[in-house]
């Protein structure tokens, strides 16, 4: 017997042992790392997804073969736990994105696709700098769209994430539907560790709901077509209630220590009244938009040395958080958009 054949048999025996152990760990709700971690015939929950999608008309054999090719990726789970939004101060998070090269990149991206940006603003009411800032923060204008196989990321999260498995199961189902509809091999698609794809980093359900064929070529291509990406981001914002011409936020002053009685940094619709905040020593600097009784999102941004910067977010700030449910993300997009607009006005 050749050395290669003996090694092959050893690998098969090891694989079978892992499959048995994986099944036990799966039943205990623990991650099972096996070569066939998502083979439907080995795992009832994966088989249930196949049954569900087959009932919607997707080819059963294709589903089984596709999911059998998915691989567990522990790095995806680790990345989810360590996302920058969870542990950085505002100044640390800000300095990742608010750099001269990213501002200039936004100016150049708008110049390269000016007609698409103008049309997006006309159709959706979303300014060019806001759309550009989203794509700039997400992928540096398409330069970095992710190196994870989306199939692996979503399968790992769907069946191994401790608290959001159901959410990612829906994203995995959407990915399979999109791939079958577009006749694309889902294993060929790359994106972020969370399964976001293309220039704007849409997750699969967002692609289904908001992606548009903005250049009318018959395809909604967010992976290679910046024009489709520009229109799709504009459509996303408009569908989430973007108010054309409305403000994002206003600077505010407040006490050295944020008062415990105020709920800060909640990414929901404006919920705190200006009068209520004034009673706690938090007031807008300059002119606040809207009536005194209007609601805002109070923001207390942590800086180095324990300092706090206060800002008050408006409805459009809330809309940005529908793209990413982090107040730091929404603030980074807001500031980058401001810097891009200033650079464009300076050029003009």
Q: How far apart are CA 335 and CA 62, in angstroms?
A: 45
CB 227 within 8 A of CB 110: no
pLDDT for 15 equals 37
Residue 36, pLDDT score:
65
How do the pLDDT tens digits run along the chain, 348 residues long?
333 333 333 343 433 333 333 433 444 344 445 546 899 999 999 999 999 999 999 999 999 999 999 999 999 999 988 877 778 999 999 999 999 999 999 999 999 999 999 999 999 999 999 999 999 999 999 999 999 999 999 999 999 999 999 999 999 999 999 999 989 999 999 999 999 999 999 999 999 999 999 999 999 999 999 999 999 999 999 999 999 999 999 999 999 999 999 999 999 999 999 999 999 999 999 776 654 458 999 999 999 999 999 999 999 999 999 999 999 999 999 999 999 999 999 976
CA distance readout (Å), 83 to 27, 32, 75: 28, 23, 12
- For the CA atoms of 30, 31, 33, 38, the dihedral, rounded to the nearest 10 degrees, stands at 110
159 in Cβ contact with 38 (< 8 Å): yes
pLDDT of residue 127: 98
Orientation of helix 226-239 relative to helix 114-124, angle to 10°: 20
Query: Residue 294: what pLDDT?
Result: 81
CB burial of residue 24 (10 Å; 0-12, 13-18, 19+): exposed
What pLDDT was estimated at residue 303?
97
CB distance 203 to 171 below 8 Å: yes
CA 161 to chain centre: 17
Q: In this predicted structure, what is the pLDDT of residue 2?
A: 39
What is the reported pTM?
A: 0.87
Q: How far is Cα of residue 123 from the mean position of the Cα atoms in its chain?
A: 24
d(CA 139, CA 128): 16
What is the 3-state secondary structure of the chain? CCHHHHHHHHHHHHHHHHHHHHHHHHHCCCCCCCCCCCCCCCCHHHHHHHHHHHHCCCCHHHHHHHHHCCCCCHHHHHHHHCCHHHCCCHHHHHHHHCCHHHHHHHHHHHHHCHHHHHHHHHHHCCCHHHHHHHHHHHHCCCCCCCCEEHHHHHHHHHHHCCCCHHHHHHHHHHHHHHHHHHCCCHHHCEECCCCCECCCCECHHHHHHHCCCCCCCCCCCCCCCHHHHHHHHHHHHHHCCCCCCCCCEEEEECCCCCCCCCCCCCCCCCCEEHHHHHCCCCEECCCCCCCCCCEEEEEEEECHHHCEEEEEECHHHHHHHCCCCCHHHHHHHHHHHHHHHHHHHHHC
Amino acid 87: pLDDT: 82
> Annotated catalytic residue: which of 129, 138, 171, 302?
138
- For residue 113, the model assigns a pLDDT of 98
Domain coordinates of the chain in residue numbers? 13-69
Active site residue 138: yes
* Of the candidates 148, 145, 31, the residue with the CA atom closest to the CA atom of residue 79: 148
Looking up tokens 């929901």, which residue turns up?
A: 268
- 104 to each of 99, 176, 206, 336, how far by Cα in Å? 9, 37, 28, 10
Is the Cβ–Cβ distance between 212 and 232 less than 8 Å? yes
pLDDT at site 83: 75
Q: What is the pLDDT of residue 28?
A: 39
């Amino acid at each position: 017997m050749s050395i290669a054949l003996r090694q092959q048999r050893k690998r098969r025996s090891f694989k079978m042992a892992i499959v048995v152990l994986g099944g036990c760990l799966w039943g205990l709700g623990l991650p099972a790392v096996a070569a066939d971690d998502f083979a439907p015939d080995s795992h009832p929950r994966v088989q249930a997804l196949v049954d569900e999608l087959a009932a919607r008309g997707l080819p059963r054999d294709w589903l089984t073969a596709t999911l059998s090719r998915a691989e567990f990726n522990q790095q995806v789970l680790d990345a989810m736990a360590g996302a920058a939004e969870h542990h950085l101060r505002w100044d640390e998070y800000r300095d990742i994105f608010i750099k001269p090269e990213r501002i200039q990149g936004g100016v150049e991206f708008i110049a390269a696709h000016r007609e698409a940006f103008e049309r997006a603003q006309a159709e959706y009411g979303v300014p060019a700098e806001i759309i550009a800032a989203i794509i700039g923060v997400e992928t540096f204008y398409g330069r970095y769209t992710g190196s994870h196989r989306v199939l692996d990321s979503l399968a790992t999260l769907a069946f191994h994430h401790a608290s959001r498995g159901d959410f990612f199961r829906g994203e995995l189902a959407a990915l399979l539907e999109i791939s079958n509809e577009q006749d694309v091999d889902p294993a060929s698609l790359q994106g972020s560790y969370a399964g976001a794809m293309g220039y704007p980093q849409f997750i699969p359900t967002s692609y289904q709901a908001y992606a548009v064929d903005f250049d009318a070529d018959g395809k909604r291509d967010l992976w290679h077509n910046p024009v489709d990406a520009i229109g799709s981001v504009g459509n996303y914002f408009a569908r989430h209630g973007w108010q054309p011409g409305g403000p994002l936020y206003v600077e505010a002053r407040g006490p050295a220590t944020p008062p415990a009685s105020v709920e800060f940094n909640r990414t929901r619709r404006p919920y705190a009244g200006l009068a209520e905040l004034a009673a706690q020593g938090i007031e807008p600097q300059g002119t606040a938009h809207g009536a005194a009784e209007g609601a805002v999102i109070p923001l207390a941004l942590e800086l180095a040395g324990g300092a706090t910067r206060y800002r008050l977010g408006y409805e459009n700030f809330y809309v940005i958080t529908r793209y990413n449910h982090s107040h730091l993300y929404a603030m980074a997009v807001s500031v980058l958009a401001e810097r891009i607009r200033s650079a464009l006005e300076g050029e003009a």
